Amino acid sequence: MRLITDPAAVRPTLNAAPERPPCKAVLMADPAHFRVESAINPWMADASGRLNVVDQPRARAQWNALKVAYETLGVKVEVIQGKPGLPDFCFCANQAVTFRDAAGKPAAILSHMRSETRAPEVPVFEAWYRDHGYALHRLPPDVKPFEGTGDAIWHHGRRVIWGGVGPRTGKDAWDHVARITGAPVIPLTLVDPRYYHLDTALAVLNRGTALYIPGAFDDASRDRLRRGFDDLIALSDTDAANFACNAHCPDDRNVLLHEGSQATVSALVRRGFGVIELDTGEFMKSGGSVFCLKQELV
Active site residues: 197, 292
Return all residues near 215 (Cβ < 8 A) that are at least 6 apart.
Answer: 191, 192
